[in-house]
Structure formats: C-alpha cells, structure tokens
Amino acid sequence: MTVAVIVPVYNGMYTIERAIASVQKQTYTKWHLYVINDASTDNTLNILKKYDKEPKVTIINLKRNAGAANARNEAIKLSEEKYIAFLDADDEWHDNKLSMQMDSIVNDNVNVVCSFYNYIKGETCVTISTKLRYLSMDDFLKKKFRVCFSSLIFKRPKENILFNNMGHEDFYFIYLLLKEYNLLSVLRQSVVNYYEVSGSLSRNKQKAAGWHYKILTKIFNGEKLKVSIYYIYYVLNGIRFTLQVKRK
C-alpha cells in the first residue's frame, strides 16, 4: 500500500530540506513524494533540483503562485497512490510516522488517521494530545482536538476530494473527508513536529476567525443558530489551546 506524500512549498528554502529528509527517513518505505513548488521567488527552486533524479520524488514547478490549496490539488490529481498524506514544508515527521499510521489503518480498519504532535515555537515544545481515540464529525466541528494537517493520512476516495480556494481550506478539507468516512482515528503518539511560523499573530487570529465563521456558514447553509453555537466552540477551544501552550 503506497502513500502519496504531498508537500506544497512557497519560499521554503530554509525548511524544505528538513521536511523532505523526514520523509526519506521513514521506516515505512512504500511512499512517493510530490513536492509542489508554488512559484517560489527565493532559492527553493535550486534546492529542489538536487532531487530531480530521485525515483521516489516528483518535483512539480508551478509557473504562477496560486496558494497551497491549488498546489495540493495539482499533486492529488497527478498522483495515483491508494493513500495520501500531507506535510507542510516547515514541519517534519518522526521516522515511524507512516509506519504507525499504516498499522492503525490496517489493524483498526479505519480510513483516516491523524496523531498527537509536538507544537514548537522558538524554545517552547508542547505535545498536543487528546483523550479521544476517534473524532466524529461533531467532535471535529467543535474543535475538541486541533488536528495538525501534517499528521493527516487517508485512503483516497473513489472520487478525489479537492481543496477549495478559501481561508482555512485544510479545515474544510477534513470536513469533506469526514462526510466521506464518518470517523477520524487519532494515533495516540506524537509523530509530527509542527513549527509555529512567526508573524503578526493577533492579525492572523483575526483573519482566521473570519475565515472560520465563513466556513461554518457554508457547512450549515447559513443556519445562524448552528453557526453561532459552533463558532463559540471554536473560540473557547482556541482559548483553551492558547492557555495549554503558554503554560508549558
């Protein structure tokens, strides 16, 4: 069972080699890596040239920058592997990530798996976990566990699910996966390092809140009561997550 590993990158010259190396070190060896260079303007293109001739790596250089959603869609449509996993260019996997998740898929008879992960910001490292073994659609929409997108692996549906070009497109993508498969299994071990990228955190939070409200409106077809209830869960669990990270 081969896994298509999809890594979109834009101006990732400082982290892309680390991400690629973490895939190449996997103890589970049935994978093919798709790196989509989203018209980077730094040295990313030159760095990726060294992987051109590797048989398990496909480099896709896009001529126009169109965002991570479009980049991932290009790789989803190009790839044919039965399973798909995502990795952001500034994150990295632990060596046993694919092995443990593929074991979970086979032994637990599930189609979608995420995992615990290490949240890293500067010198701070916090393991993000949950008591839940599975996330239902309701659990996910209430943000009872903040899923790290770089931890996600799933069986390819009969018809490919593609990303919408919208804010929080990764959240909406998982929502579509849950519509297809009903449950999201949680591997109870940290197998991903998620790196918080520096930036205007308060402004980004404001943007994210607006994006999330729009997604909930789309999911619930504009039903204001449901949108309001799930938005409150989003805010409260966001505060809880922030406090969890700051306590460490």
Strands, E, within 39-133: which ranges?
57-61, 83-86, 92-93, 112-121, 124-128
Residue 186 lies in a domain: yes
pLDDT value of residue 201:
45
CA atoms within 13 A of residue 148's CA, in its CB half-sphere: 29
Residue 151 lies in a domain: yes
User: Does the pLDDT at position 17 exceed 90?
Assistant: yes
215-241 average pLDDT score: 95
User: How many CB atoms are closer than 10 A to CB 211?
Assistant: 16
Phi, psi of 222 (to 5 degrees): 80, 10
Residue 222 lies in a domain: no
Dihedral (C-alpha) 96, 97, 103, 104: value to the nearest 10 degrees? 140
pLDDT value of residue 200:
40
Residue 214 lies in a domain: no
57-72 average pLDDT score: 96
Residue 229 lies in a domain: no
pLDDT value of residue 5:
99
Q: 42 or 206, which is more confident?
A: 42
pLDDT value of residue 247:
65
Residue 100 lies in a domain: yes
Mean pLDDT of the chain: 94
CATH of the domain at 133: 3.90.550.10
pLDDT value of residue 37:
98
Tokens of 124: 């701070």
Q: How far apart are the first and last CA of the chain?
A: 39
Q: Which amino acid is at 84?
A: I
Per DSSP, the three-state class of 106 is helix
User: How many CB atoms are closer than 10 A to CB 240?
Assistant: 13
Q: Which domain holds residue 96?
A: 3-198
User: Does the pLDDT at position 135 exceed 80?
Assistant: yes
Split into its structural domains, the chain has a count of 1
Give the separation between CA 199 and CA 203, rounded to whole angstroms.
9
